[in-house]
């Protein structure tokens, strides 16, 4: 028989962490405890509720049907508590543990890194984990509170908040490269140039998407070097190794210093804004909501309402 009156609130939070992370070890890292302590707490919770909540193997932990149902109800309950606390500015109201983000590398560089100093100042007791990952992943299954991707990469069942305006992709090369080669004047001219290939997070080769009279054309371009990292691509481009296809916002300083030049500018392609996305329609962690507002303010976008979602 369940003994709900003796259920420890802390055990419920740990249970939710285990369900999110699918791991005693990872949940223990988040909570600053040992895996054995987490396991003991889960046994205690199951005993007090009188039901099995977790399936355990030597390699993984997964919730039972009852565990999934409890996790959903707890998520809603904690969301309501967090939403209530988020409406206050008093010190300590946003001290709600941890926030885990999974973000594209470009978003980490352009959006998250500039926001970190203010975030750390405003939320000194929140443990923020930022995992830079260009793979397409299920953020919920892998234990993240939110992700940052381009709008067209956000799953349809998620709540998405734009963090930027539209992003422009350009073709760029170094002055040294352009001195050695004829400056391309037409898209077809790329066939006689060396282009730095882009490898996507799913290990597929990316076809450059360019604007041709208002329509999107996808190009296969020649080039023997393939890179899956923007910073490395920029370095290779500056070294004169070829024409690169880059997010313009990533190379503003290089353009200002004339280390790189945009070519075929009339074919630059406008793409979706960066979005932050999460699963709940009712609530975002108050510190996550604060991070969203910091980023949007730095991007000169209006803050979202504190009660958003």
> Are both 101 and 191 inside the same structural domain?
no
> Are both 64 and 154 inside the same structural domain?
no
- Neighbouring residues of 196: CB distance < 8 A, sequence distance ≥ 6: 223, 225, 226, 227, 233, 236, 237, 241, 242, 243, 244, 245
Backbone angles phi, psi at 279, to 5 degrees: -90, -30
Q: What is the pLDDT of residue 85?
A: 58
Distance from C-alpha of 209 to C-alpha of 45, rounded to nearest angstrom: 53
Distance from C-alpha of 250 to C-alpha of 274, rounded to nearest angstrom: 13
Backbone angles phi, psi at 216, to 5 degrees: -90, 125
Q: How many CA atoms lie within 13 A of 256 on its CB side?
A: 5
Single residue among 55, 85, 115 that ends a domain in this structure: 85
Distance from C-alpha of 198 to C-alpha of 220, rounded to nearest angstrom: 11
Of residues 254, 261, 278, 243, the one with CA closest to residue 79: 278
> Are both 186 and 243 inside the same structural domain?
yes
Single residue among 85, 115, 147 that ends a domain in this structure: 85
With DSSP H G I counted as helix, E B as strand and the rest as coil, what are the percentages for the chain, rounded to 5? 40, 20, 35
> Are both 222 and 263 inside the same structural domain?
yes
Distance from C-alpha of 269 to C-alpha of 281, rounded to nearest angstrom: 32
**Helices 65-86 and 286-298, axial angle in degrees (round to 10):** 60
> Are both 73 and 212 inside the same structural domain?
no
Q: What is the pLDDT of residue 94?
A: 41
> Are both 146 and 228 inside the same structural domain?
no
> Are both 37 and 171 inside the same structural domain?
no
Instruction: Examine residue 233 and state whether it is found in any structural domain, yes or no.
Output: yes
Q: Which two tokens stand for residue 164?
A: 């930027």
Cα 306–307–309 angle (5° rounding)?
115
Quote the number of domains for the chain. Answer: 3
Instruction: Examine residue 68 and state whether it is found in any structural domain, yes or no.
Output: yes
Single residue among 62, 85, 108 that ends a domain in this structure: 85
Q: What is the pLDDT of residue 253?
A: 96
Instruction: Examine residue 304 and state whether it is found in any structural domain, yes or no.
Output: no
Q: What is the pLDDT of residue 91?
A: 45
Question: Do the strands 159-162 and 208-212 form a parallel or antiparallel pair, or are they unpaired?
Answer: unpaired
Instruction: Examine residue 50 and state whether it is found in any structural domain, yes or no.
Output: yes
CATH number of the structural domain spanning residue 119: 3.40.190.10
Instruction: Examine residue 256 and state whether it is found in any structural domain, yes or no.
Output: yes
Instruction: Examine residue 306 and state whether it is found in any structural domain, yes or no.
Output: no
Q: What is the pLDDT of residue 97?
A: 75
Q: What is the mean pLDDT of each run of 10 residues along the chain (309 residues)?
A: 64 86 82 87 91 85 88 76 55 62 95 97 92 87 89 83 93 97 94 93 85 93 94 97 97 97 96 88 74 93 56
Q: What is the pLDDT of residue 90?
A: 45
Cα 57 from chain centre? 30
Q: What is the pLDDT of residue 280?
A: 63
Instruction: Examine residue 309 and state whether it is found in any structural domain, yes or no.
Output: no
Q: Annotate 136-178 with DSSP letters as a single string.
A: ---TTTTT-SEEEEEGGGS-TTSEEEE-SS-EEEEEEE-HHHH
Q: What is the pLDDT of residue 283?
A: 55
CATH number of the structural domain spanning residue 21: 1.10.10.10
Q: What is the pLDDT of residue 74?
A: 84
> Are both 60 and 181 inside the same structural domain?
no
> Are both 160 and 291 inside the same structural domain?
yes
Distance from C-alpha of 158 to C-alpha of 165, rounded to nearest angstrom: 19
> Are both 150 and 279 inside the same structural domain?
yes
pTM score over 0.85: no
Q: What is the CA radius of gyration of the chain?
A: 24
Q: In sequence order, what are the beta bridge partners of 274?
A: 150
Distance from C-alpha of 19 to C-alpha of 13, rounded to nearest angstrom: 10
Distance from C-alpha of 153 to C-alpha of 168, rounded to nearest angstrom: 16
> Are both 220 and 266 inside the same structural domain?
yes
Instruction: Examine residue 160 and state whether it is found in any structural domain, yes or no.
Output: yes
CB 12 within 8 A of CB 45: yes
Of residues 193, 197, 219, 194, the one with CA closest to residue 208: 219
Cβ neighbours of 92 (radius 10 Å): 8
Q: Which two tokens stand for residue 163?
A: 């963090």
> Are both 222 and 150 inside the same structural domain?
no
Q: Give me the domain span that covers residue 173.
A: 167-270
């Amino acid at each position: 028989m369940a003994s709900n009156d003796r259920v420890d609130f802390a055990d419920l939070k740990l249970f939710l962490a285990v369900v999110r992370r699918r791991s005693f070890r990872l949940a223990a890292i988040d909570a600053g405890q040992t895996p054995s302590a987490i396991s003991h707490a889960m046994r205690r919770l199951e005993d007090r509720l009188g039901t099995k909540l977790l399936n355990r193997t030597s390699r993984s932990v997964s919730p039972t049907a009852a565990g999934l149902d409890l996790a959903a109800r707890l998520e809603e309950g904690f969301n309501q508590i967090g939403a209530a606390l988020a409406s206050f500015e008093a010190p300590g109201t946003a001290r709600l543990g941890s926030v885990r983000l999974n973000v594209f590398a470009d978003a980490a560089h352009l959006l998250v890194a500039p926001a970190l100093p203010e975030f750390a100042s405003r939320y000194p007791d929140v443990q923020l984990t930022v995992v830079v990952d260009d793979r397409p992943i299920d953020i919920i299954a892998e234990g993240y509170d939110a992700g940052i991707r381009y709008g067209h990469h956000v799953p349809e069942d998620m709540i998405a908040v734009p963090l930027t305006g539209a992003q422009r992709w350009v073709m760029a090369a170094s002055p040294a490269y352009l001195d050695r080669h004829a400056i391309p004047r037409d898209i077809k001219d790329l066939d006689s140039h060396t282009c730095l290939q882009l490898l996507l997070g799913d290990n597929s080769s990316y076809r450059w998407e360019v604007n041709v009279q208002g329509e999107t054309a996808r190009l296969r371009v020649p080039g023997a070097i393939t890179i899956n990292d923007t910073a490395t691509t920029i370095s290779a481009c500056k070294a004169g190794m070829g024409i690169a296809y880059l997010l313009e916002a990533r190379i503003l300083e290089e353009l200002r210093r004339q280390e790189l030049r945009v070519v075929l500018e009339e074919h630059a392609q406008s793409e979706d804004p960066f979005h932050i996305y999460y699963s709940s329609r009712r609530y975002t962690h108050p510190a996550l909501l604060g991070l969203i507002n910091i980023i949007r303010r730095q991007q000169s976008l209006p803050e979202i309402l504190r009660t958003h979602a």
